[in-house]
């Protein structure tokens, strides 16, 4: 059993379409998923049920997990209603049951749910590897590329007494199965 788990956050149709480096992001996440499966690392998908943003409301087309992802029928899917994937969900219990101690975090959007998941994971006692080229967002008050770079820099330098966040490109991640 692996002590790692790959977390794919909000890679849903309504967010993937239009994300910065959309196809490169999907390719990177799929490469990590395939490597993870080969190494026996479990994959957990997190799916956002948005209360007000129509395309991301449960059952709408934008809410669906993006069809080009290498998702197996038995991969756990944790549904959430907040940016924090741990808040009000069974994510922690799912990860503990899988034996995970280190989370490899990918997905959307860098400045919202990815950032929050990384920080919350530390508070729940998990070490984190943020996949530097495996998260993205769209342009907003800053260009998307700057948002991604900013979060890679900031999250790599968070201080916690018992856990850490490392920021590594997909190609630099060592999987333990």
- Asked if residue 56 has pLDDT above 90, the reply is no
Residue 55 has a pLDDT of 80
Note whether residue 177 is domain-resident.
Answer: no
Note whether residue 54 is domain-resident.
Answer: yes
Residue 124 has a pLDDT of 97
- Asked if residue 176 has pLDDT above 80, the reply is yes
**Does pTM surpass 0.95?**
yes
Domains identified in the chain, total number: 1
Cβ–Cβ contacts within 10 Å for residue 157, how many? 8
CB-side exposure of 170: number of CA atoms within 13 Å? 19
Mean pLDDT of 42-70: 93
Cis peptide preceding 109, ω within 30 of 0: yes
Note whether residue 8 is domain-resident.
Answer: yes
Note whether residue 112 is domain-resident.
Answer: yes
Residue 117 has a pLDDT of 98
Q: What is the pLDDT of residues 79-128, one digit of tens each?
A: 999 999 999 999 999 999 999 999 999 999 999 999 999 999 999 999 99
d(CA 164, CA 151): 15
Among the residue ranges 49-58, 93-102, 161-170, the one predicted with the least confidence is 49-58
Indicate the average pLDDT of the chain: 96
- Asked if residue 1 has pLDDT above 80, the reply is no
Percent of the chain with pLDDT over 70: 100
Which range of residues forms the domain containing residue 115? 4-172
Q: What is the pLDDT of residues 141-160, one digit of tens each?
A: 999 999 999 999 999 999 99
Residue 172 has a pLDDT of 97
Residue 177 has a pLDDT of 73
Note whether residue 123 is domain-resident.
Answer: yes
Note whether residue 23 is domain-resident.
Answer: yes
Residue 53 has a pLDDT of 82
Note whether residue 133 is domain-resident.
Answer: yes
Query: What DSSP letter does each residue of the chain carry, written as one string?
Result: --SEEEEEE--BHHHHTT-TTHHHHHHHHHHHHHHHHHHT--EEEEEE--SS-GGGSTTSGGGSBPTTS---TTS-EEEESSSSTTTTSSHHHHHHHHT-SEEEEEEE-IIIIIHHHHHHHHHTT-EEEEEEEEEE---SSS-HHHHHHHHHHHHHT---SS--EEEE-GGGPPP--
CATH number for 38: 3.40.50.850
Note whether residue 82 is domain-resident.
Answer: yes
């Amino acid at each position: 059993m692996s002590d790692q788990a790959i977390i794919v956050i909000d890679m849903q149709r309504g967010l993937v379409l239009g994300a910065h480096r959309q196809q490169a992001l999907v390719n990177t996440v799929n490469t990590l998923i395939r490597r993870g499966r080969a190494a026996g690392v479990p994959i957990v998908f997190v799916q956002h049920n948005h209360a007000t943003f129509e395309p991301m409301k449960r059952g709408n087309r934008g809410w669906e997990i993006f069809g080009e992802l290498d998702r197996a029928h038995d991969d756990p899917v944790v549904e959430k209603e907040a940016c924090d994937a741990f808040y009000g969900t069974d994510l922690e219990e799912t990860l503990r049951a899988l034996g995970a101690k280190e989370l490899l975090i990918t997905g959307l959007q860098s400045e919202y749910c990815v950032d929050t998941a990384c920080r919350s994971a530390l508070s729940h006692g998990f070490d984190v590897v943020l996949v530097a080229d495996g998260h993205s967002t769209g342009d907003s008050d800053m260009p998307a590329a700057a948002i991604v770079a900013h979060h890679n820099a900031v999250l790599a330098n968070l201080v916690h007494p018992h856990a850490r966040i490392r920021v590594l490109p997909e190609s630099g991640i060592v999987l333990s199965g």
